Amino acid sequence: MSDDISQLTAKHTYGTWRAQRGWKPIHVTRAEGCAFWDASGKRYLDLSSQLICSNLGHQNQAVIDAICAQARDLAYISPAHTCEIRARVAQKLLEVMPKGLDKFFFATSGTEANEAAFKIARAYTGKHKIIARYTSYHGSTAGSVAATGDFRRWFIEPTGKIPGVIFGPEVNCYRCPLGRTSPECNLACADYLAYMIDHEENVAAILVEPIVGTNGVLVPPPEYLPRLAEHAKKRGVLLIADEVMSGWGRTGKWFAVDHWGVTPDILTTAKGITNAAVPLGVVATTRAIADYFEDNMFAHGHTYEAHPLTLAPAIAAIDEYRRLDLLNRSATMGELLGAKLRALKEKHPSIGDVRGLGLFWAVELVRDRETKEPFNTPQDKAARKPLVVEAVAAEMLKRGVSVLSWVSHLIVAPPLIITEEELDEGLAALDAALEIADQKVAGAAA
């Protein structure tokens, strides 16, 4: 039965961000807490919260109850009307959003939230260009993928993307794109973005993941985001914070920007807002932006926007983050996780760097610690070469631990409810699987 489901899925539905040949998805029959099970009954510890989105753990009861109750009460009403849940979610978001963001557009994914944010920024400023950074992911549609710095954009370029997005350097203190070293660099990467604005003109917004997610959990130095916000403000350019992955307790705060006291002009989010149980994306804007649209057309919308079924679990999820004290838990368990990962780095020569904040960590693998030569590059991934990091993740999966791998790093970002015993179970599998990479480091005995 399991093979049937997997084969039928692969034959008649598209597996995304991959060539279709060879796709054999795991048929998942059950998920609960920090684990899921396949059709054979095998259990997998979920060390990456699926796509860093099941922050409350699988099948959170309060979230599910909220969806069911809303389905019975009012499953759909046109976004031109309103219903109680829409107003209540807005009210609830005011409690957790950075102060000053108080008007919301409800989309159905992070991709769409970013798409809407670009339109809003361009309409509000009357300017066209958007500056994003190379090491980033912002979504898969024509706008959001145009702003995506990583290799997924390369595949879209022949098929079309929006014009007007340009790329600047990311903040990556392990592999500085400017070849500098922190703190002597004095945040040259932030200042270079200001230089870009000054020389480009016609810039509507700078778009950043405050902590870059998929592309390596890049935590900036504390002065980075405040500096960037200041540069943008001084130049009349909006700062858009994409908190699709970094929001909702993942880093130990509601949003990553909260670590540095920065209120962006626009914040986009999705994923953990509903524990990913239903598709909800949010664009949060300042009152100044909201005021602009009082007498100007808000030229955006779709049938499923502000969909009651997607909104209802947001309130339940926020209540659950609070009831389970998950922001504090993410911070304290995150410190523990960081310490354990650093201990693994001592043991495994294939680990070049471990970095993270809260329960959001990357383990970057290298062939050579001295030169930081990676095992694989985005070009390798794009060319579908076998990747060392994928071999490590496959070995972990064999051992019953699911982890997200990307080019040359693993992302350890478990549900925020994870226990220390579960962490140890996951890290034991990582410890064992890293032998595969250790054998390939420069100078390792054959």
Ligand X SMILES: Cc1ncc(COP(=O)(O)O)c(C=O)c1O
What Rg do the C-alpha atoms of the chain give, in angstroms? 22
Q: From the list 244, 289, 363, 429, which residue makes contact with ligand X (rule: CB under 6 A)?
A: 244
Q: By C-beta, is 149 or 349 nearer to ligand X?
A: 149
- Say how far apart CA 265 and CA 127 lie, in whole Å: 15
* Residue owning tokens 């410190």: 335
48 binds ligand X (CB under 6 A): no
- Point out the residue whose Cβ comes nearest to ligand X: 110
Residue 130 C-beta: closest distance to ligand X, Å: 14
Residue 113 C-beta: closest distance to ligand X, Å: 8
209 binds ligand X (CB under 6 A): yes
210 binds ligand X (CB under 6 A): no
Which stretch, 16-24, 132-140, 218-226, 233-241, contacts ligand X (CB under 6 A)? 132-140
Which residues ranging from 327 to 386 are in contact with ligand X (CB under 6 A)?
none
Look up residue 134 and give its two tokens: 């190379």
Residue 136 C-beta: closest distance to ligand X, Å: 7
Can you tell me whether residue 252 is helix, strand or coil? Answer: coil
Contacts 24+ apart (CB under 8 A), 288-295: 289/103, 289/120, 289/124, 289/238, 289/265, 290/102, 290/103, 292/123, 292/124, 293/123, 293/124
Q: By C-beta, is 52 or 441 nearer to ligand X?
A: 52
138 binds ligand X (CB under 6 A): yes
Which stretch, 115-123, 134-142, 184-192, 390-398, contacts ligand X (CB under 6 A)? 134-142
Residue 211 C-beta: closest distance to ligand X, Å: 9
Residue 118 C-beta: closest distance to ligand X, Å: 12
Which stretch, 136-144, 300-308, 315-323, 365-373, contacts ligand X (CB under 6 A)? 136-144
Closest by Cα among 262, 285, 257 to 357: 257
Which residues ranging from 54 to 83 are in contact with ligand X (CB under 6 A)?
none
Q: From the list 111, 286, 402, 408, which residue makes contact with ligand X (rule: CB under 6 A)?
A: 111
Q: By C-beta, is 110 or 252 nearer to ligand X?
A: 110
Q: What is the 3-state secondary structure (H, E, C) of 19-78?
A: CCCCCCCCCEEEEEECEEEECCCCEEEECCHHHHCCCCCECCHHHHHHHHHHHHHHCCCC
Closest by Cα among 180, 110, 189, 107 to 145: 110
Angle, vertex CA 218, rays to CA 212 and CA 224, nearest 5: 90
**What is the number of other CB atoms lying within 10 angstroms of the CB of residue 379?**
11
Look up residue 414 and give its two tokens: 């478990």
Which stretch, 37-45, 90-98, 238-246, 340-348, contacts ligand X (CB under 6 A)? 238-246
Residue 408 C-beta: closest distance to ligand X, Å: 18
Which stretch, 107-115, 166-174, 282-290, 321-329, contacts ligand X (CB under 6 A)? 107-115
170 binds ligand X (CB under 6 A): no
Using an 8 Å Cβ cutoff, are 44 and 401 in contact? Answer: yes
Which stretch, 106-114, 120-128, 186-194, 407-415, contacts ligand X (CB under 6 A)? 106-114
Look up residue 325 and give its two tokens: 């004290």
CB neighbour class for 160 (10 Å; exposed up to 12, middle 13-18, buried from 19)? exposed
- Say how far apart CA 230 and CA 239 lie, in whole Å: 10
- Say how far apart CA 310 and CA 111 lie, in whole Å: 16
Q: Binding residues for ligand X, how many (CB under 6 A)? A: 15
Residues 324, 328, 331, 337, Cα dihedral to 10°: -40
Residue 157 C-beta: closest distance to ligand X, Å: 18
Q: From the list 109, 251, 402, 408, which residue makes contact with ligand X (rule: CB under 6 A)?
A: 109
242 binds ligand X (CB under 6 A): yes
Between strands 266-269 and 281-286, the pairing is antiparallel
Helices and strands: H and E segment counts in the chain: 15, 16
Which stretch, 85-93, 110-118, 196-204, 233-241, contacts ligand X (CB under 6 A)? 110-118
Q: From the list 26, 28, 39, 51, which residue makes contact with ligand X (rule: CB under 6 A)?
A: 51
289 binds ligand X (CB under 6 A): no
Residue 394 C-beta: closest distance to ligand X, Å: 21
Using an 8 Å Cβ cutoff, are 237 and 265 in contact? Answer: no
Q: By C-beta, is 114 or 350 nearer to ligand X?
A: 114
272 binds ligand X (CB under 6 A): no
270 binds ligand X (CB under 6 A): yes
Q: By C-beta, is 66 or 413 nearer to ligand X?
A: 413
Which residues of the shown chain bind ligand X in the complex (CB under 6 A)? 51, 109-111, 114, 137-139, 209, 213-214, 242, 244-245, 270
